Amino acid sequence: MDLAFGFSVSSSVASQLQSKNLAVCNADQFTTVFAASRRHRSKDNKWLRNKQLVQLCYLSDASSDYTLSTQENSRSSGRFGDMVREFRALERDLKTVENEHSAIEFFVRLQNLSSSDCFNAVASSRALFLLSKFAQSNPSVYRSEAVQEYIQKSALVYTLCDIVESAWEELNDKCLASILRSLSILKVSEMDRFFVHWCRTAEAMMLQFGCRALVSCLNSFVELKFRPRQGFMEHWVEAFQMEVFQARAENLASILSAYANLRLIPSVRFLEAWYSGFAIESNRFHKKELVLAWNSFSSMNIIPRQAFFDALFSDLAVHRDTFSPCDLEVVLSGFQKLKMKVRPDHLLVWCDAFEASSQQFSGTQLCSIIETMDIVGVYPEDTFLSLWLSCLKDRAPELTSEALSTAMWSYAKLGQKPSQWSESLLKDDVHSGLNIGGQVTTSVKVLPPKRRSMHSVGRFIQTSFFDN
C-alpha cells in the first residue's frame, strides 16, 4: 500500500483526473492534483473513489521522469513530494533496524516527518503502519526498555492519532482498517475516545469495507479490549451480509471467536449470514477452524446447527491424529458448557481420537476429561477407561492430591471400582491413609508443596469403597 492510498479528491478536480492520461502521468502532475484537492476540499463536495490517485502514485513511481521537482508546482506540492520520498526511505531503511540505537533514530525521523505541514490523516495511517510493521519484525528491539521509554516520552503514537482525529474525512475504508490494525499490534491503551470516533466514522462507509477489513476490525477490537456499541455492530452485520460469500473458513471461525471474546450477542441476521458462509466453506473447515468455532459457540451458549456437528465429527473421525489433547478437551468441554448430551456415535469418534493421542495428555487434562464425562453424563466403553487409567498411572506424580481424588470420584461414578487400583496409583503419595482390606489409618504422608487436605482424603476414602 503506497502513501497516497486513501486520499480523497474533491469533485472540483475530477476533470483534472479524467483529462490526464494515467499511463504517462508523473509525480509532478500527481502532487499538483493533490494540492488542488486540498485547496478545494469542503464538506459539501462529493468525493471520488481513491483508486485513481493510487494508480497515479504507482505510475509516477515507475515513470522515467519521476523527479518530484518543485519548479512548476506550488510550495506545498514540493513538501508533499519530499514527504513521499521520506516515507519510501523509511520503509526501505526499516529492514536495517537491528538494535535500540537504530530504532530510536528511525522513530526520530518518523516524528520529524509528522511535523510537516502537509502531513495529514492518511500519512498518519501510513506512519502507524510502519510502526506496527517494525513491532512485528523486531519484537525484542521494540519491547526493549530504551525504545519503550522513547515512545512514551515522545508520545509518537498519540501524536499520530491526534492528526487522524483532526481530519477523519480524509480517510477511506482501507485506511480506517489499517489504523485499527496497527494500533492493535502496538497494543495501545486508554484510547476509548479515539475508538468511539473511529466507529462513528466507519459506520458511514461500512458498506465499502471488504470481507478482510470486516474481519480485521473485529480481531483488532479483541486485541484492544474495546467493545463496540450495538449501533456499530448493526452496520457491521449489514456489511457482513454483503461480503459473507467472500469469507473463507478461517474468516468465519475468527469472526465467531471475536464475537465470543467481545461478549457480543449474535443477532438472527448475523447467524443466518454466518451459516450461509459456512454452507459454502464447510468442506474447507478443518481442525483449527472447527475447534475455534465450536469453542466460540459454546462460550456464547449457542447450540450450533446439525450441519456444524456433522462437519466437526466427520473431520475428527478422518483426521483424528491431528487433534491435540487441548483440541479434544475443548470439544468435550463444549458439551458441558451447553449442558448437552453427547450422541453415542460422536462419543465413539471422540474416544478413538483420544486413543490416537493418549500419550500426549497431561495429568491435569486426564483428570479434566473424566470429570467432564461425569458431569455431562456419558459412559464410555471399558477399553477407553482402561486406557485412561493406564495414562493416569503414568501421570500420577505430577498431580495434586485434590485433582487425583476428584478424578477418582468421577471414575467411580462412571461405574468403576477404584479400590482395585488406588494403592498402586498413590503408593508414592499416601503412606498409610488407606488399607484395601477395609481398615483405615489416620497417618497421611504429606509431600510439600502438594499438600493433601482432609477433604480430599475423605473423598479418596469414600471413592475407594464406592460401589454401584
* Predicted pLDDT at 77: 56
Tell me the helices (H) and strands (E) count for the chain, helix number first: 24, 0
Examine residue 39 and state whether it is found in any structural domain, yes or no. yes
| Three-class DSSP category at 452 | coil
Query: What range does the domain containing 107 cover?
Result: 1-188
Examine residue 400 and state whether it is found in any structural domain, yes or no. no
Examine residue 218 and state whether it is found in any structural domain, yes or no. no
Alpha-carbon distance of 433 to 447, in angstroms, equals: 13
> Could you give the maximum distance between any two Cα atoms of the chain, in Å?
103
Torsion angle of C-alpha atoms 314, 316, 319, 321, degrees rounded to 10: -160
pTM for the model stands at 0.75
For residues 197 and 223, the answer to whether their CB atoms sit within 8 Å is: no
DSSP letter (8 states) at residue 322: G
Alpha-carbon distance of 438 to 459, in angstroms, equals: 15
pLDDT value at 359 more than 80: yes
Predicted confidence band at 189 (pLDDT cuts at 50, 70, 90)?
confident
Examine residue 55 and state whether it is found in any structural domain, yes or no. yes
Q: Is the dihedral of CA 377, 382, 387, 389 positive or negative?
A: positive
Cis bond before residue 449 (omega within 30° of 0): yes
Alpha-carbon distance of 367 to 405, in angstroms, equals: 9
Residues sharing a CB contact under 8 Å with residue 266, sequence separation 6 or more, in sequence order: 259, 274, 300, 302
Examine residue 119 and state whether it is found in any structural domain, yes or no. yes
Examine residue 20 and state whether it is found in any structural domain, yes or no. yes
Q: Which residue from 251, 171, 230, 237 is spatially nearest to 207, judged by alpha carbons?
A: 237
Alpha-carbon distance of 434 to 175, in angstroms, equals: 69
Least confident among 67-71, 207-211, 297-301, 367-371: 67-71
What are the backbone angles phi and psi of residue 102, rounded to the nearest 5°?
Answer: -70, -30
Alpha-carbon distance of 225 to 122, in angstroms, equals: 25
For residues 254 and 214, the answer to whether their CB atoms sit within 8 Å is: no
Examine residue 215 and state whether it is found in any structural domain, yes or no. no
Per the structure block, which three cell numbers stand in for 209? 469495507
The CA-atom distances, in angstroms, between 132 and each of 2, 137, 210, 415 are: 16, 9, 21, 56
pLDDT tens by residue, 105-154 = 999 999 989 888 888 999 999 999 999 999 998 888 988 888 888 888 88
State the distance between the two ends of the chain, measured CA to CA, in whole angstroms: 69
Examine residue 252 and state whether it is found in any structural domain, yes or no. no
pLDDT value at 468 more than 50: no
pLDDT value at 79 more than 80: no
pLDDT value at 229 more than 90: yes
Least confident among 178-192, 204-218, 415-429: 415-429
* Predicted pLDDT at 334: 97
For residues 90 and 113, the answer to whether their CB atoms sit within 8 Å is: yes
Alpha helices (H) in 282-417, listed in sequence order: 287-299, 306-318, 325-338, 344-357, 363-376, 382-395, 401-413
* Number of domains within the chain: 1
For residues 393 and 423, the answer to whether their CB atoms sit within 8 Å is: no
